[in-house]
Structure 1
Amino acid sequence: MSQRNDGDESDQQESAGIALPSHIAGSGTLDRLVDTARDYARAAASDNTLKAYARDWAHFARWCRMKGAEPLPPSPEMIGLYLADLASGMSLSPSQSASRPLSVSTIDRRLSGLAWNYAQRGYTLDRKNRHIATVMAGIKRKHARPPVQKAAILAEDILAMVTTLPFDLRGLRDRAILLLGYAGGLRRSEIVSLDVHRDDTPDSGGWIEILDGKEGGGALLTLNAKTGWREVEVGRGSKDQTCPVHALEQWLHFAKIDFGPVFTRTSRDGKRALVGRLNDKHVARLIKRTVLDAGLRAELPEKDRLALFSGHSLRAGLASSAEVDERYVQKHLGHASAEMTRRYQRRRDRFRVNLTKATGL
């Protein structure tokens, strides 16, 4: 059993490859194009997404074999039973204890992962098949809950958080991360994927330009985000201590960074910038650490305080704190709809437009 499980992920990696038909295999030019096509295929989704899909397939394949079935070819009936099992938590683990039921969003993601994996193997998974669609509809109707939102980091919160940071090189970097991430409404992956210039590195997710202007200028970020390329303008603040652009300039200057990733790791003593790009998990850890150090939500136990905040707290904080027309916030965050922007606004005047009074009641 373990040998077959060990092969699940390697099977997935092989299936993601592209092969030539046997009657034209061996053609030098076409063989080289196969490698190029594989590179493009891998770039169709982020590394994190591909890893998640690989785990989804490994879990499903293991589940099938525990039930005496095979994952290939796709069986809508078996997949429907698998989804029901995920929602009910009826499966027994090796320790013979029931597994924890998964949330609706996680089950939906698992189903997407299976559809992607089947596509890489040349199969089509019909998610509208009644054995899948009706089970999934029932799961959503019975178990769906409003999305759990992370707390927004408001303007006064971010100011308190940055004051907890030292003024060594690591502190300068972390201050720039928090202020730029907040003012730009950036995802943590967008923060760490920035390069100094366009095309500095193969894994670049965007670059920065520091510009002068009538109102003091600012930093123009060009991002390859989830929804495509977009530009984010981060203006200068009212004072250097809280200005994201000034913090960015300070970090780049003292870290002597003029090429490659904007945010890199530092030496253990925090006095020297290293070459490697910072991992996006650092942003989440930085937020949680400074939230505790700043004493935010001090009335709650530490475990609950940590659970309240994540990388998305920066985006929600900007959306909730910026006193400007909603359409500007929507554009800044790169949202396709105003409704999505409103989901990020934790505090706003919800009853400014009162349709009850407008009808004469």
Structure 2
Amino acid sequence: MASETDKSPAPDAPLGKEEAPAPREALTLPAHVAGSGALDRLVDTARDYARAAASDNTLKAYGKDWAQFTRWCRKKGTEPLPPCPEMIGIYLADLAAPSGRAPALAVSSIDRRLSGLAWNYTQRGFALDRKNRHIATVLAGIKRRHARPPVQKAAILPEDIRAMTATLPYDLRGLRDRAMLLLGYAGGLRRSEIVGLDVHKDDTPHSRGWVEIMAGGALLTLNAKTGWREVEVGRGSSDLTCPVQALEQWLHFAKIDFGPIFVATSRDGTRALQTRLNDRHVARLIKRTVLEAGLRPELPEAERLALFSGHSLRAGLASSAEVDERHVQKHLGHASAEMTRRYQRRRDRFRVNLTKAAGL
């Protein structure tokens, strides 16, 4: 497992012409403006910022959306450019009720595919009007007929996270993985937020945040999906499960005082390298320790693996923290209490009883 988990990820293979989210020349100088060395450098800078507008995972997903749509268009004898609302409406219907052997997609996946097409068209200089009747009415009908409640991942509860961390050794790699699990749990962090942390502000250009360790805990400053936010992770009641102490131990023994916090280790597990781990490591770590801790033993292994993911850490904190819901909402960076409640797998549902309050 060590060689699979800790090897530096290989560079992504070049995308084919169809799969590329957008050509590099999508941002260019206007035809009437003469180029120069300074302007060309600014164009490259603008392209870099444009690529940073979405995460790598989102760009890859949008690239796959475009590749799938262009293949579908070829099979139907049409072209993907320029956008044709009538054909896109037919495409959405085929995703919901395919004529061949392909499985029908969930409503959320169809919605995501449409977002991917809109993004790709925008990058190619076209506008896709999602409110066009040929698109909007078909999508509304799909949602009305096929929409289902979202399938939620299981929450990792306090007894679960203690069992999971207990499976980890106290070598260098075990110290790192323990710190990742405990900090991700106590901070209610997303996978990308865990591995995106640096020791200090502005250590690396691709940082997603940094950590300041204090007497009472650790203050995380995160550049998250909803913007910048601060997360306070207090010290725990036990040294074995304290996320701040686990982080301090990893940084001390790994001799990390600059740059990414969670990095790969050497094959023999004795040295910390400089390569930042990617977020897939968090997912693999969770699934591996879930199996080794024996969680949900009544289920087959495949179902147990499918039941837990990176979101299980956030759901676990939301479900277990016995504090005012507003504090949990702020901690997780949710814009609404309703979103926080979606993460709560167990809560006092009828604490506020409007039936009795109405006099019945």
Q: Please give the range of the TM-score, normalised by the shorter of the 2 chains.
A: over 0.9
Q: In structure 1, what residue type is equivalent to 2:174?
A: G
Q: Is the 8 Å Cα contact of residues 26 and 124 (structure 2) preserved in structure 1?
A: no
Question: In structure 2, what is the equivalent of residue 123 of structure 1?
Answer: 126
Give SS of 1:234's match: strand
- Write the mapping of 1:250-269 to structure 2, written as runs, cut at 5 A: 250-269=249-268
- Write the mapping of 1:265-344 to structure 2, written as runs, cut at 5 A: 265-344=264-343
Instruction: State the shift of 1:25 in Å.
Output: 3.5
Give SS of 2:131's match: coil
What is the TM-score of this pair, normalised by structure 2? 0.94
Give SS of 2:178's match: helix
Q: Is the 8 Å Cα contact of residues 25 and 31 (structure 1) preserved in structure 2?
A: no
Give SS of 2:26's match: coil
1:37 is matched with which residue: 46, 53, 57?
46
Question: In structure 2, what is the equivalent of residue 94 of structure 1?
Answer: none
- For residues 203-230 of structure 1, what are the alpha-carbon distances to aligned partners after superposition, in whole Å with 9 as ceiling and x for unaligned? 1000001012xxxx11100000000000
Q: In structure 2, what residue type is equivalent to 1:243?
A: C
Q: In structure 2, what residue type is equivalent to 1:326?
A: E
Question: In structure 2, what is the equivalent of residue 159 of structure 1?
Answer: 162
Instruction: State the shift of 1:6 in Å.
Output: 4.0
- Answering whether residue 34 of structure 2 is matched by residue 25 of structure 1, we say yes
Q: Is the 8 Å Cα contact of residues 193 and 208 (structure 2) preserved in structure 1?
A: yes
Q: In structure 2, what residue type is equivalent to 1:17?
A: A
Give SS of 1:13's match: coil
Q: Percent identity?
A: 80
- Answering whether residue 12 of structure 2 is matched by residue 9 of structure 1, we say no
What is the TM-score of this pair, normalised by structure 1? 0.94
Instruction: State the shift of 1:8 in Å.
Output: 1.3
Give SS of 1:241's match: coil
2:91 is matched with which residue: 82, 91, 94?
82
Give SS of 1:262's match: coil
- Which stretch shifts more, 244-253 or 21-30? 21-30
- For residues 43-84 of structure 1, what are the alpha-carbon distances to aligned partners after superposition, in whole Å with 9 as ceiling and x for unaligned? 111111111111111111111111110001100000001101
Question: In structure 2, what is the equivalent of residue 95 of structure 1?
Answer: none
Instruction: Specify whether residues 6 and 43 from structure 1 end up closer, same or farther in structure 2 by C-alpha distance, changes over 3 A only.
Output: closer
Instruction: State the shift of 1:302 in Å.
Output: 1.1
Q: In structure 2, what residue type is equivalent to 1:331?
A: K
Instruction: State the shift of 1:32 in Å.
Output: 2.1
Give SS of 2:91's match: helix
- Answering whether residue 196 of structure 2 is matched by residue 187 of structure 1, we say no
Give SS of 1:282's match: helix
- Higher RCO structure, 1 or 2 (CA under 8 Å, sep 6+): 2
Question: In structure 2, what is the equivalent of residue 199 of structure 1?
Answer: 202
Q: Is the 8 Å Cα contact of residues 195 and 207 (structure 1) preserved in structure 2?
A: yes
RMSD of aligned C-alpha atoms?
A: 1.3
For structure 2, the residue ranges without an aligned partner over 5 or more in a row are: 1-14
CA distance in 2, matches of 1:6, 1:173: 37
Question: In structure 1, what is the equivalent of residue 152 of structure 2?
Answer: 149
Aligned pairs, number: 346
CA distance in 2, matches of 1:163, 1:28: 58
